[in-house]
Chain A
């Protein structure tokens, strides 16, 4: 099988699996889910690191560095705010125990 076919198959399989799993997330958690997914979309940092390494010109390297900064903010802030949000969700029992 050629590399192209494998990549396209992986794309389709990941789409289907992701769709199935995300369907199970209750709407209660849709905002954190979304910001978590948003952080994951920063996975593009892998690509930008790889091409920055290849870049020959200084302009290319600078553009690459800009891309890395952007993607990393996407990743770290995304996971950071998601974590902050998820920690805010308290159970009924939990809050009572804490306040007493």
Chain B
């Protein structure tokens, strides 16, 4: 295949991928968009297979392709929706691994490598390696293999910065050095890259996970793109760059929604950044009071929550005086907005939430969902969980769209969300959440909060909504039990 033909194919396939993304902007055309992207990828692999001159490597490649396909079909069919964040994390890591291996092999087996090839290969190797270790740590934390709380070593920031510096020095050395062999430099680069990714991800708490996952998504794309530069493969460069841009954009959206700067997430621990968090008794493990019948996903989240609290299977105690209110409130309300948080996901209450909203709708009430951009463990996580139980996507509203409607809403029901509705974000200057955009749940006429307890959320800032208020009802305990209580009053 001539280079010109390959350039044409690359251009067509890149445009195909862009078309696929374009179609992703509408929920109706999104499945088609995804399939177009997948088709482009398949064609790209075929084009590469046709174009490559295999000398004795073919059996290895075919075997690898078969093994990879079998493993991935198995994985894709088995993963649960609540596990999506760690799945994405794991897949990111594999992408990083592949990019760093491609970079190492380029350096070690390529002939006539110029400075451009060597420097880009070094860069791809470093970024690929940090994507690998960072993603694995993030996925491990999300899956409960590592503790969720940030782990901070003495002089952690200095160590991270030092690792980054060494990484840069090694990348500069690769194209110019003669005294040290390429193999040694590659191994060092891989090692320091892995170390940096580990240092970076190990101290990220549950709350910063959406940002971390987005950032690693971006770096896996950038690593692929730069590996493409080293190989002179234009298709690899363009598609990798598209992924890099997407991850970066999502990262910035998340940072804005959480009122955090990107540098804070990378170079400093969340706990150290939050002065109030140290004074408050906030994210303490709740294992001691949790009954034994807990699964892994629940215990993993004992600490470092952002907007929600871990759940137990305790029934929700409602004071008798409020018990009566509950029924009247639900009966009175014509317009209802539900605010779900990760607490709902932990308790697996989505199915009950669906029953509850169906029942409200059958009584002629309007029900909508207000989704905060950082609710859950990755961007858009809540939407996927609610879609899984067949809640129509028209009812899932973004923050900016629904905030003006709260003052005209009769009843807001919060399910396992805390910081994202904390009005202190508007008033409490100097606290970590000050300035963070929130859902204006407090503006609604009445509020029912179904949270695990009234402890401050991850940010460690007390929520004024928990103070006694005739228009606010607290249903403490497991989200499932609380929704059942609500259902029994309908």
Contact = CB atoms under 8 A, between A and B. Distances in A.
B396 A77 contact: no
B392 A82 contact: no
B99 A44 contact: yes
Contacts of B231: 47, 50-51
A46 B17 contact: no
Contacts of B220: 38, 41
B68 interface: yes
Contacts of A76: 68-69, 72-73, 76
B347 to A, nearest CB: 20
Interface stretch (B25-33, B424-432, B452-460): B25-33
Contact of A49 (B21, B52, B79, B223): B52
Given A31-B383, A71-B95, A49 B48 contact: yes
Contacts of A87: 31
A10 B239 CA distance: 10
A70 B53 contact: no
Contacts of A27: 253, 371, 373, 379-380, 383, 398
B229 A7 contact: yes
Interface string A69-85: 11111111111111111
Interface stretch (B36-44, B313-321, B329-337, B465-473): B36-44
Contacts of B381: 31
What's the interface size class on B, roughly? 35 or more
Given A91-B393, A95-B390, A77 B24 contact: no
Contact of A17 (B18, B229, B243): B18
> What is the interface of chain A mostly: helix, strand, loop, or mixed?
helix
Contacts of B384: 31-32, 85, 88
With a 10 A CB-CB cut-off, give which of A51, A75, A86 has the most chain B CB atoms.
A51
B246 A33 contact: yes
Given A40-B41, A72-B69, A47 B233 contact: yes
Interface in A55-100: 55-56, 60-92, 94-95
B388 interface: yes
A69 to B, nearest CB: 4
B310 interface: no
A11 B60 contact: no
Nearest to A17: B18
Given A47-B224, A89-B27, A40 B236 contact: no
B385 to A, nearest CB: 9
A12 B30 CA distance: 26
B339 interface: no
Contacts of A91: 27-28, 392-394
Interface of B: 14, 17-18, 20-22, 24-25, 27-28, 30-31, 33-35, 37-38, 41, 44-45, 48-49, 52-55, 57-58, 60-61, 63-65, 67-69, 71-73, 75-77, 79, 81, 84, 87-88, 91-92, 94-95, 97-99, 101-102, 104-106, 108-110, 116, 213-214, 217, 220-221, 223-225, 227-250, 253, 371, 373, 378-381, 383-384, 387-388, 390, 392-396, 398
Interface of A: 3-4, 6-8, 10-19, 21-56, 60-92, 94-95
27 contacts: A3-B232, A10-B234, A10-B237, A14-B239, A18-B18, A24-B25, A29-B27, A36-B33, A41-B217, A44-B98, A47-B98, A47-B228, A47-B230, A48-B101, A51-B102, A53-B55, A54-B105, A63-B105, A66-B97, A67-B97, A71-B94, A73-B72, A79-B76, A81-B87, A88-B390, A91-B393, A92-B392
